[in-house]
Amino acid sequence: MSTQRAGRYAPSPSGDLHIGNLRTALLAWLFARTTGRRFLIRMEDLDRAVPGSDSRQLSDLAALGIDWDPPVVHQTDRLATYRSVIDDLRVVGRTFECFCTRREILEAPSAPHAPQGAYPGTCRDLTSAERDERRATRPPAIRLRADIEVFGVDDLVHGTYSGAVDDFVLQRNDGTPAYNLVVVVDDAAQGVDQVVRGDDLLSSAPRQAYLATLLGSSPPAYAHVPMVLNANGIRLSKRDGAVTLADLAADGVATSTVLSRIAHSLGLGGRDEPVTLPLLAGRFDPVALPTEPWFLTADEWS
């Protein structure tokens, strides 16, 4: 485990980064570099990876001026580590097998005030015979046996945030380690004590911080930053047209212009002001960051 403080950016290499991804990456870099931290890149490639996407993503980050401390870690290289952690939790009675489908969980009665989709505990106390019967028809997922219902985290943007903690999945029924596990294991291993990411992930922070404490780690400092939305108020995606550096370049929009507009959206520069990352770092003040999403429309590039 590294003892050097670090921030990180952890994209999924499933395609090119869009403006929302790049804006979050820039913020993660600014938070890390202005606090004397290393800045790491980790490829979250357990679910779906498109060949070549990781190298294109790194090229796009570099084109904006974002640098990072090597090596770039790929989660697919760390499967043995994740499974070892799950085994350790199993040995101390912290896991159980779950045979529920997503639909069964959504349709099951849940505890009062529990958020929709929270795990209702269906398989928590199955007998050995019941597990054997279910295992014959469906491979199990592995869930954490949580002993709390709510956990609080401190967020640099949202303040103190308390969220639900249920018996969340550690390993899916296809054998793939789950996001809520691997992100905690990786952050601890890499010395990541600052996590900057989109505020759509704020609700997952209590689960991850709780798991970190179970594994003997201190939860990181969180900063869940506002998203980039399209004109309809929906999270920006590649379906929204020219939203990657390559697409914008094909439309005649220079990367320097993209950086200027991202900086402007963060209150760090004029709309068409030429900027560099060292300049933005000198202006960066987390307290002054906008707290509302950036609505990106086609006329942004005109």
Q: Which CATH number covers residue 181? A: 3.40.50.620
Cα–Cα distances in angstroms (integers) from residue 15 to residues 58, 60, 92, 105, in the given order: 12, 12, 39, 31
Q: Which domain holds residue 13?
A: 6-71+227-301
Return the pLDDT at 33.
98
> Which of 177, 193, 225 lies at the terminal end of a domain, its last residue?
225
282 and 296 co-located in one domain: yes
Sequential pLDDT tens for the chain (302 residues): 556 899 999 999 999 999 999 999 999 999 999 999 999 999 999 988 999 999 999 999 999 999 999 999 999 999 999 999 999 999 999 999 999 998 898 888 765 556 667 899 999 999 999 999 999 999 999 999 999 999 999 999 999 999 999 999 999 999 999 999 999 999 999 999 999 999 999 999 999 999 999 999 999 999 999 999 998 899 998 788 779 999 999 999 999 999 999 999 999 999 999 999 999 999 999 999 999 999 998 889 88
Return the pLDDT at 262.
98
Return the pLDDT at 240.
80
Task: Tell me if 12 is assigned to a ligand binding site.
Answer: yes
- Residue-wise DSSP of 122-175: TTTT--HHHHHHHHTTSPPEEEE--S-SEEEEEETTTEEEEEE----EEE-TTS
> Which of 166, 199, 225 lies at the terminal end of a domain, its last residue?
225
> Which of 196, 225, 254 lies at the terminal end of a domain, its last residue?
225
Which phi and psi angles does 200 have, rounded to 5°?
-70, -15
How far, in Å, CA of 181 to CA of 104, rounded? 23
Task: Tell me if 222 is assigned to a ligand binding site.
Answer: no
57 and 87 co-located in one domain: no
Task: Tell me if 161 is assigned to a ligand binding site.
Answer: no
Q: Are 214 and 146 in contact (CB under 8 A)?
A: no
Task: Tell me if 11 is assigned to a ligand binding site.
Answer: yes
Task: Tell me if 197 is assigned to a ligand binding site.
Answer: yes
261 and 150 co-located in one domain: no
Number of separate helices (H) and strands (E) present in the chain: 10, 12
160 and 220 co-located in one domain: yes
Evaluate whether residue 290 is within a structural domain: yes
Q: Which residues pair with 244 in a beta bridge?
A: 18
194 and 112 co-located in one domain: yes
187 and 231 co-located in one domain: no
Task: Tell me if 44 is assigned to a ligand binding site.
Answer: yes
Task: Tell me if 104 is assigned to a ligand binding site.
Answer: no
Task: Tell me if 207 is assigned to a ligand binding site.
Answer: no
Task: Tell me if 9 is assigned to a ligand binding site.
Answer: yes
Return the pLDDT at 70.
98
57 and 108 co-located in one domain: no
The torsion defined by the Cα of 39, 45, 46 and 47, in degrees rounded to 10, comes to 130
Task: Tell me if 114 is assigned to a ligand binding site.
Answer: no
Q: Which residues pair with 39 in a beta bridge?
A: 7
92 and 221 co-located in one domain: yes
Q: Are 203 and 136 in contact (CB under 8 A)?
A: no
DSSP, collapsed to helix, strand or coil, labels residue 44 as coil
Query: What type of residue is 3?
Result: T
Task: Tell me if 124 is assigned to a ligand binding site.
Answer: no
The gap between the terminal CA atoms of the chain, to the nearest Å, is 48
